[in-house]
Structure 1
Amino acid sequence: MQRLRLPLVAALLLNLSIASASATDRDLPSVTAESVVALAKKLSPEMAAAVLDADSASQRVGAAGVQPDPVVTLQAWDVNSRGVGQRWIGAQQTFRLWGKTDLERGVAEADADAAWHRSHAIEIDLVARVKTAFAQYNAAQRAVALSKSLKQRVDQLLELLRLRYGASSVEQEDVIKAELEAANAAADVARREGEAKSTAARLNALIGRDARSPLGAPKGFPSLKTKLTLAGVQDLARASNPQLAATHAQVRSATTAKKLTDLNYYPDITAGANFVQRQTGENSGMFMLGFTVPLQYEAKDAEQRAASASVGAAQARNEALRIRLDGEVAEAWFRLEAVRKAIRIFEQRQLPPAKLSIETARSGFDAGTTSLAALLDSERRLRAIELELLGLKIEEQSRYADLERLAGGSL
């Protein structure tokens, strides 16, 4: 029962944390992956709703597995013109025996356990989406910096060509090319800044803040574990995935409900007593004992068949989810491995030559041996490689977050 009480405590703490969130938390969070995840857990209405749903299910346990309320009766007998001849004051209580109340409580506890795991699944899914959105925000900010750096270099080149035009071998066509390139660079900066604002709005919405709330500069991509095995992640997912745990609880609930329907053939007992008060003569008492007669066998047989089908369906859903989970983990793991290989290729075999190409082109342009077109091509090539590398790092963060979501938590 300690676990079942946890959602209530969590809900209270969550409400308190939302109410007491400081202006600093709401306006200027420290923008790291860990800080935005912590803020999302504190402020997200989606998370609050999931916790309260789990608490609602846990509270229903207290209403299950109890005996019916007793019935108090007041009766008047021999009522005529002379008044009431007898007054009966009594009470009746129905007892559900044979372990029916324990099984009802077991069903409610299993349902509450499933609700708790579903709440945990929503939290883990939210964390994965926040981490992916943070990676996109971080990459968008980095792309803005790259675009501004390129714009600055092109502007400096354009200024140099304007100064040399007419005084050296610089032709008007080169100046025009540089002006067009500078305009393209300025447009790219504007587009990248718009994308950065868009990713910031998406991240704010996931956290539970206003889309226009300011976000500080991100502190880079979080470090990820590199030594992961597919079998290890699959084993962790089978043991810790909350959706799979929820289906386990649903199987337990359906199995317990099936046992409860088996007891429908056993009668319930009703006991009662009356105090008889007479106007003349001695007062006396009456006692009563009754029981239900389970004659509707066809209905009870149908209930058993329905309960058996529910057990089979719950077991099939659990097995289907386990198989699908293994497949999704393998899919995410292989994609993560492929992305990491691509990142290594870009960092080791494409980025260094592109940087060297720019240095060579700049030296050659200053010496008059490299054309303006070749210099601009090398600048664009380096920027394209850097942006492609950013996209790969976003995908790496996203695939890793998918693996954590499937595994049920941090790897």
Structure 2
Amino acid sequence: MLMKLKFLKIEFCLLIILTIGCASSNERDAFDRFHEEERNSYPYADKSQVSDQPSEIDENSTLADHLAYAALNNPGLKASFYRWKEALEKITQSRSLPDPRFNYTYFIKEVETRVGPQEQKIGLMQTFPWLSKLKFREKIAVENANAMQQKYEEAKLKLFFQVKKYYYEYYYLERAIDIMRENIELVKYLEEIVRTKYRTGKEVYANVIKAELEIDILIDRLKSLEDFRKPVAAKLNEALNRPADTLIARLEPVSEKQIEFSEDELIDSLMENNPELKILDYEIAKEKGGIDLAGKNYFPDFTIGAEYIDTDEALNNTPDSGKDPIMVMFSINIPVWYNKYRANEKEAHAKWRAANNSIIAASNSLIADVKMAFYQFCDARRRIRLYSNNLIPKGIESLEVTQKGFEAGKIDFTDLIDAERAILEFHLSYERALADHAQSLARLEMLTGKEL
């Protein structure tokens, strides 16, 4: 009996293996991409490897170090990474057969037959979906895994943009604070000149009050800038997965990047590389697989099996006494609920049409975003050159001339304060333009999916 059962089991397993086959090339490619990303982005997962990623951020860290640290430690990005892995593991499940069914029957009262009493019955059954059902289920799972990969890439790009955005914003605040402190010292120096002149009767007391008011205004603006550093630092620390009140080390200087690209080139890169559009491309392919799968619901699944009956020896010397019968079974389900299958097919077509319209809407929105970011990039570059080449040099010259004229008693103190305010705003606007230029470039990189 045991030998017969073993033979029956081997035949059944061979039938299942031949039916379900091996992993497809698309499945293998999807897993290969995941393992490559795992090795590149999370080398610490293997404790035997020594990672060259920065273990901490300090005053010597560059922007690239901040990005690498964020990629390695940000929990949101890790969550996207493991959702990708989750989707990959569903591929094998989707192409697998249902579990085989094992039946055992023990005859409480033995069934008497000519060749002897039947004592027990053992059976195995396996259900096989209609041809191509497993293939389409696997296709849907593969396309879903590909979409999850692009969601991971999208999360990485958004994370890098967040790091860059608040990195540049924090740098701007540092520079603005330095400039504001320098101007406070300048106005304090001018206040002393005014007070000295007032004591000698060469200046009116109203100008002393003006100098004091100007200092108070500058101190108030300085306090606002210093306070604003805290929430900006918290947002940067959030991306780096550090406590919100962690101190930010002195950042490396930001300068204008001398790069040239056209709006059309940016839009081409957007259409080719943007992860959001790739996600929707895979969604369309997935919903197309859903249509194909829904069309197979009209066809039946079938079940095959085998049963073995253990028969004892007959009491008399009967031919074939104790011979154990083996039976083969076959059954199918009958798909008679046409309206249900038709509704499922309509649902699949509706999802496919929705995905097609979603990618059109997303394309329109993203192209508009690129145009806006490109305008901001160009506008910031224009302002950088305006302030650095024209306004700041002329403002410095104007302040020097006005200060000399005031000290000589030829220019009113109000004109001196106006010149000081102008050069202050020119310097702040220049630093703001540098930060805007870097932030808009970072946004363009996020939208186009590549470093520019």
Q: Could you say whether these structures have the same fold, taking a TM-score greater than 0.5 normalized by the shorter chain as the test?
A: yes
Using the alignment, how far apart are the partners of 2:419 and 2:426 within structure 1?
A: 11
Determine whether 1:305 maps to 2:357.
no
Contact 2:80 2:152 in 1 (8 A): yes
Q: Name 1:291's counterpart in structure 2.
A: 332
Post-superposition offset of 1:170: 4.2
Paired residue type of 1:4: F
Using the alignment, how far apart are the partners of 2:263 and 2:103 within structure 1?
A: 68
Q: CA offsets, 1:96-127, max 9 Å, x none?
A: 24122121111101001101101111111121
Q: Name 2:303's counterpart in structure 1.
A: 270
Determine whether 1:157 maps to 2:190.
yes
Q: Name 2:98's counterpart in structure 1.
A: 68
Contact 1:18 1:42 in 2 (8 A): no
Q: Name 2:30's counterpart in structure 1.
A: 3
Instruction: Choose the corresponding residue for 2:432, options 380, 391, 395.
Output: 391
SS at match of 1:79: strand
Contact 1:257 1:307 in 2 (8 A): yes
SS at match of 1:72: strand
Post-superposition offset of 1:208: 1.6
Paired residue type of 2:225: R
Contact 2:81 2:152 in 1 (8 A): yes
Using the alignment, how far apart are the partners of 1:221 and 1:162 within structure 2?
A: 40
Determine whether 1:353 maps to 2:394.
yes
Contact 2:376 2:436 in 1 (8 A): no
Q: Name 1:99's counterpart in structure 2.
A: 132
Contact 2:119 2:311 in 1 (8 A): yes
Using the alignment, how far apart are the partners of 2:51 and 2:238 within structure 1?
A: 16
Post-superposition offset of 1:64: 1.1
Q: CA offsets, 1:115-163, max 9 Å, x none?
A: 1101111111121122111111111000001011111112223334445
Paired residue type of 1:251: I
**What does 1:323-334 align with in structure 2 at a 5 Å threshold?**
323-334=364-375
Cα 1:363–1:310, aligned 2, differ >3 Å: closer, same or farther? same
More displaced, 97-106 or 164-173?
Answer: 164-173
Query: What number of residue pairs does the alignment pair up?
Result: 410
Post-superposition offset of 1:194: 1.9
Determine whether 1:51 maps to 2:78.
no
Post-superposition offset of 1:174: 3.6
Cα 1:267–1:342, aligned 2, differ >3 Å: closer, same or farther? same
Instruction: Choose the corresponding residue for 1:169, options 189, 198, 202.
Output: 202
Post-superposition offset of 1:31: 5.0
Paired residue type of 1:265: Y
SS at match of 1:273: strand
Contact 1:100 1:263 in 2 (8 A): yes
Post-superposition offset of 1:336: 2.4
Paired residue type of 2:260: K
Q: Name 1:36's counterpart in structure 2.
A: 66
Using the alignment, how far apart are the partners of 2:273 and 2:258 within structure 1?
A: 19
Using the alignment, how far apart are the partners of 1:191 and 1:31 within structure 2?
A: 27
More displaced, 11-20 or 138-147?
Answer: 11-20
Using the alignment, how far apart are the partners of 2:334 and 2:258 within structure 1?
A: 65
Q: Name 1:406's counterpart in structure 2.
A: 447
Cα 1:155–1:31, aligned 2, differ >3 Å: closer, same or farther? farther
Aligned residues: CA RMSD: 2.8
Higher gyration radius (CA) = 2
Using the alignment, how far apart are the partners of 2:441 and 2:427 within structure 1?
A: 21
Determine whether 1:366 maps to 2:377.
no
Determine whether 1:244 maps to 2:272.
no
Cα 1:384–1:373, aligned 2, differ >3 Å: closer, same or farther? same
Using the alignment, how far apart are the partners of 1:153 and 1:192 within structure 2?
A: 19
Instruction: Choose the corresponding residue for 1:116, options 149, 152, 155.
Output: 149
Determine whether 1:202 maps to 2:235.
yes
Fraction of identical pairs, as percent: 22
Contact 1:132 1:398 in 2 (8 A): yes
More displaced, 393-402 or 52-61?
Answer: 393-402
Post-superposition offset of 1:9: 6.7
Using the alignment, how far apart are the partners of 1:284 and 1:104 within structure 2?
A: 38
Paired residue type of 2:344: E
Q: CA offsets, 1:218-275, max 9 Å, x none?
A: 2122543531111111111111000100000011111111111222222222111111
SS at match of 1:217: coil
Using the alignment, how far apart are the partners of 1:103 and 1:299 within structure 2?
A: 19
SS at match of 1:178: helix
Q: Name 1:344's counterpart in structure 2.
A: 385
More displaced, 260-269 or 373-382?
Answer: 260-269
More displaced, 367-376 or 251-260?
Answer: 367-376
Post-superposition offset of 1:80: 6.5
Cα 1:225–1:264, aligned 2, differ >3 Å: closer, same or farther? farther
Structure 1's consecutive aligned runs of 4 or more residues displaced over 6 angstroms after TM superposition are 17-22
Q: Name 1:138's counterpart in structure 2.
A: 171
Post-superposition offset of 1:171: 4.3
Cα 1:307–1:191, aligned 2, differ >3 Å: closer, same or farther? closer
Paired residue type of 1:59: E
Using the alignment, how far apart are the partners of 1:160 and 1:278 within structure 2?
A: 120
Cα 1:166–1:341, aligned 2, differ >3 Å: closer, same or farther? closer
Paired residue type of 1:388: S
Q: Name 1:335's counterpart in structure 2.
A: 376
Q: CA offsets, 1:313-359, max 9 Å, x none?
A: 11121222223222222232233223333333333332222111011
SS at match of 1:67: coil
Using the alignment, how far apart are the partners of 1:179 and 1:18 within structure 2?
A: 63
Cα 1:137–1:112, aligned 2, differ >3 Å: closer, same or farther? same
Contact 2:144 2:286 in 1 (8 A): yes
Contact 1:144 1:189 in 2 (8 A): yes
Contact 2:302 2:330 in 1 (8 A): yes
Using the alignment, how far apart are the partners of 2:80 and 2:379 within structure 1?
A: 35
TM-score by length of 1: 0.90
TM-score by length of 2: 0.82
Cα 1:309–1:179, aligned 2, differ >3 Å: closer, same or farther? closer
Cα 1:115–1:322, aligned 2, differ >3 Å: closer, same or farther? same
